[in-house]
Amino acid sequence: MSETRLLSPAAARPAPPVRPEYERAPEAVAGASIARTIPLPQRLLQQPWLRKGLILVALAVLWEVVARIQGNDLMLPSFGQTIRAFYEDIANGVIPGRAANSIDVLLKGYLSGVVLAFVLTTLAISSRFGRDVLSTLTSMFNPLPPIALLPLGLLWFGLGQGSLIFVLIHSVMWPLALNMYTGFTSVPETLRMTGRNYGLRGLRYVFLILVPAALPSIIAGLKIGWAFAWRTLIAAELVFGTSSGRGGLGWYIFQNRNELYTDRVFAGLITVILLGLIVENVLFRQIEQRTILRWGMTK
């Protein structure tokens, strides 16, 4: 009652008219189907491989044009020449051999770095002390260029694979640990409580709940680590190329630059680029499609 008295007179506040109700059946659906097929050009452009292929073709054309205008094979060989040199050295087995040497060292260093990063991060999420250890070590060592550690590595591990693996671990471990830790800390609280509700503890809790829940960050860290590892390896081989005994791609590039085979230098660079593209677009892409994309964790 008191509410009605608070209202202003009806004339000042227009009320909507009361209209009659009605009922009727919905009208028939127009057309045979409510879905329509997408036109072919649009469908083709939805394919990421096609879009990326077009970008690569455009870059190759640009390269060829610039090289022709410049007209100095020693400074910038054309795309065609580079591909020829690339093909020759693949056919005579030089590039595959060098690439195999590089990948062998790379995988050893990368995998050790991943394992160490995982151990460090697991410690960091299970105790406050571990967290401080991780954040202190990461802020100390992450900015340190791996190449700056190579002289030390050579001193400690000699002229073999050991010193290269040492710098590779250093280049992979810190960025990956940082990403993993961020991923673990951003797992939703509800999901954590769910995991503990199942009675999971310790490593089982980490592997069955935290790792899958933090997988977007972990995969991002693995990609960054992979790129860092390649850079470090090629740079290390360029500086101390023969240190591993059997030369890798960096050594191949270095040798050919000394002998002014610029087309072979570019062939070596292309090999590194191709390996990177394959790992990124085939390996990591597959992992993402089977996991985080399928689970709807990333778009």
Partner 1 sequence: MDGLTATANDSEVPATLPPALLSVEGVTLEYTGASQIVRATQNVSFDVWEADRFVLLGASGCGKSTLLKAVGGFIQPREGRILLDGRPVDGPGPDRVVVFQEFDQLPPWKTVRENVAFPVRVSGRLDRKSAAERADYYLDKVGLSRFADAYPNALSGGMKQRVAIARALAMEPRVLLMDEPFAALDALTRRKMQEELLALWEEVRFTLLFVTHSIEEALVVGNRIALLSPHPGRMRAELNAHEWDLHGGGSAEFQAAANRVHRLLFEDVPPDESNPT
190 binds partner 1 (CB under 8 A): yes
Q: Please count the other Cβ atoms lying within 10 Å of the Cβ belonging to residue 161.
A: 19
Half-sphere exposure of 50 (CA within 13 A, CB side): 7
Binder among 38, 44, 203, 208 for partner 1 (CB under 8 A): 208
Quickly tell me which residue has 């810190």 as its tokens.
174
Distance of closest approach, residue 214 Cβ to partner 1, in angstroms: 11
Quickly tell me which residue has 């960050």 as its tokens.
217
Count, residues near partner 1 per rule CB under 8 A: 21
Residue nearer to partner 1 on the CB measure, 68 or 196: 196
Binder among 43, 51, 52, 196 for partner 1 (CB under 8 A): 196
How far is CA 113 from its chain centroid? 16
Residue ranges in the chain assigned as alpha helix (H): 2-6, 40-45, 48-70, 79-91, 94-126, 128-141, 146-157, 161-185, 189-197, 202-205, 211-213, 215-239, 249-258, 262-278, 285-290
Distance of closest approach, residue 2 Cβ to partner 1, in angstroms: 10
Binder among 16, 188, 202, 245 for partner 1 (CB under 8 A): 188
207 binds partner 1 (CB under 8 A): no
Distance of closest approach, residue 52 Cβ to partner 1, in angstroms: 26
40-48, 95-103, 157-165, 197-205 -> range binding partner 1 (CB under 8 A): 197-205
* Nearest by Cα to 264 from 40, 86, 34: 86
71 binds partner 1 (CB under 8 A): no
Binder among 87, 129, 156, 295 for partner 1 (CB under 8 A): 295
Structure tokens at 114: 């991943």
For the stretch 75-80, contacts whose Cβ atoms lie closer than 8 Å and that sit 24 or more positions apart, written own/partner, are 75/262, 76/262, 77/262, 77/263, 77/266
Residue nearer to partner 1 on the CB measure, 129 or 198: 198
3-11, 117-125, 167-175, 183-191 -> range binding partner 1 (CB under 8 A): 183-191
For residue 167, count CB atoms less than 10 angstroms from its CB and return exposed for 0-12, middle for 13-18, buried for 19 or more.
buried
Distance of closest approach, residue 194 Cβ to partner 1, in angstroms: 5
Round to whole Å and give the CA distance between 96 and 24. Answer: 74
200 binds partner 1 (CB under 8 A): yes
Calculate helix-pair angle for 249-258, 262-278, nearest 10 degrees: 160
Q: Phi, psi (5° rounding) for residue 160?
A: -110, -160
Stretch 236-275: interaction string toward partner 1, x if CB under 8 A = ----------------------------------------
3-state secondary structure of 46: coil
19-27, 38-46, 157-165, 289-297 -> range binding partner 1 (CB under 8 A): 289-297
170-178, 195-203, 217-225, 250-258 -> range binding partner 1 (CB under 8 A): 195-203
220 binds partner 1 (CB under 8 A): no
Contact residues: partner 1, CB under 8 A: 188, 190-191, 193-194, 196-200, 204, 208-209, 212-213, 215, 291, 294-297
